[in-house]
Amino acid sequence: MYGVLDIGTTKIKIFVYDKELSLRYRETVDNVTSPDGTQDPGRIAASIKHFLNVAREQGVRKFGVATYRASVVAWDRGGRPLTPVYTWLFGRVDDLYGRRFAALQHLPKLGILFRKYSPLFKFLRAYRDGGLGGCLKAGTCFLWTLDGFVAYLLARRYVSDATNATLSGFIHPKSFKPVPLVMELFGVELPLPEVVDNYGDFGNVEGMELRAIIADQQAAAVAEGATNRGVVKVTLGTGLFVDMPTVQYAERRGLVPLVLYRVGRDTRYGLEAYLPAAGHFIDGLVSLGLATYEELGGLDPGGEYVYVLPAPAGLQYPPATWVRGALMGLRLHTRREELLSSVVATLSFYVRYVIEAGGYRAERIRVDGGGSRLGSFLRCLASVVDAPVERPEDYEGTARGVLSLLAYGDGLTELGRPLGRFAQIRGESLYCKRNYETWLGKMKSLKNLKPFFQAA
């Protein structure tokens, strides 16, 4: 039996698969995020302990772990947390982000590391608020991304997998070596972990072999075959993520260079843009009683378009951390269905925008995550892109990606081959087609709204 532990921003899950790679068991617990974007690492540790017991009872022999990314926590040598987890949604860094870093974001090569959403400022927040200078220097504590904490809890090794380590800001994704300029500018003495492959022998955990560690979005890319050029992976979960494989290392202004996986001498790369908390925006509409998930999924978008910014945690691409979720252009006669149509359409518009802005030629787009069940979103997306849009039968792309790594290790599959079956989604929405250019024009004038949001 194979086990997959998926530590997501909103849920923590365990999946158990047999040797035929069929799902035999799954269980889910909530992962609570505080209003400031932090989480309790003790709660995460307790969930891991519980799911290890579950995995052992289910007969799991080998297992792997996926974690959400770019989120920072400190812990001591006993594995006890010293700070909260500063998740990728955490944004209280204004007091750390002075003119020096604001200027550095315009550097042609490393500028993306110094934008306000960068995990580097979460490191700095944890370092200062936790008073970690002394213990880091003495070697009695650790400060790293969540994957390092999880690996330490499981195997008592200070390691970070290639996909997570290269999103920390301290490790370059091409060379896998430290970026000296970062250490100098931040003035932080930070012992770096050993960077490990996404598949390997990471230790025996309660009689089970830990064989895979990978970041959640990259795991989903592995599952969808989006490690090969032309296959774009889109995930709508807590956020909306667009991953475009380049195979070789590449940079595009504003896009995040990704290691999709590293196994032995085989390293695959890609580029990413994401809309933080887009899924939270939809959840908010539901919690306010403005919609139900069933209604959103079955919607046939129509009526007049309302300009929507589904960005309660700001925009990563284009870079606009000051943006907040907004609905603009409401009229006296605006109907609820028009508002919901605009939300669904905007998500699909963002995907097309990222692909075009990155100059990427998409031959196929595969959409996973819980939001992939919103048929209206997929139909609208299929209406505005020039590539087939597909949805997997099993929307749990992250779990399937970890399973793919485990199966690869046993010679049951090949890396780069998608795992699962996919259905093509067709769409001929005139509403979505005609409103894309309207949305794009408003996005180009986004900076004009900066005083409005900053004054809010």
Q: For residue range 303-351, what is the model confidence (pLDDT) as tens digits?
A: 999 998 898 888 888 888 888 888 888 888 999 899 999 999 999 999 9
Give the pLDDT of residue 73: 98
Average pLDDT over residues 92-114: 77
Q: What is the DSSP string of 399-417?
A: HHHHHHHHHHHTTSS-TTS
For 315, which DSSP code?
A: B
Q: Copy the structure tokens of residue 88.
A: 């990728």
199 pLDDT more than 70: yes
Order of strands across the sheet that contains 204-205: 23-30, 11-17, 2-7, 62-67, 208-215, 204-205
Q: Angle between the 278-287 and 336-357 helix axes, to the nearest 10 degrees?
A: 180
Contact predicate 169/120, CB 8 Å: yes
Q: Identify which of 140-144, 189-193, 236-240 has the greatest average pLDDT.
A: 140-144
* Dihedral class, residue 243 (left if φ above 0, else alpha if ψ from -120 to 50, else beta): beta
Q: 74-78, 202-206, 335-339, 387-391 — which is least confidently predicted?
A: 335-339
Report all structural domains of the chain as residue ranges with CATH numbers, in order of start: 2-215 (3.30.420.40)
Tell me the percentage of the chain whose pLDDT exceeds 90: 73
- Mean pLDDT, the chain, whole residue set: 92
Q: Identify which of 96-100, 277-281, 323-327 has the greatest average pLDDT.
A: 277-281
Q: Copy the structure tokens of residue 141.
A: 């504590």
More confident residue, 15 or 96: 15
403 pLDDT more than 70: yes
Q: For residue range 1-29, what is the model confidence (pLDDT) as tens digits?
A: 999 999 999 999 999 999 999 999 999 99
Q: 52-61, 242-251, 284-293 — which is least confidently predicted?
A: 284-293
413 pLDDT more than 80: yes
Distance CA(324)–CA(302), nearest Å, equals 25
Average pLDDT over residues 358-379: 94
Give the pLDDT of residue 102: 75
Give the pLDDT of residue 316: 86
Q: Angle between the 41-57 and 146-155 helix axes, to the nearest 10 degrees?
A: 50
Give the pLDDT of residue 454: 66
Distance CA(425)–CA(376), nearest Å, equals 10
Residues in contact with 24: Cβ distance below 8 Å, sequence separation at least 6, in sequence order: 1, 16, 17, 18, 58
Distance CA(381)–CA(129), nearest Å, equals 43
Give the pLDDT of residue 455: 58
Average pLDDT over residues 159-171: 97
Neighbours of 199 (CB within 10 A): 23
Distance CA(47)–CA(51), nearest Å, equals 6
Give the pLDDT of residue 206: 93
CA dihedral (60, 61, 62, 68) positive or negative: positive
Give the pLDDT of residue 184: 81
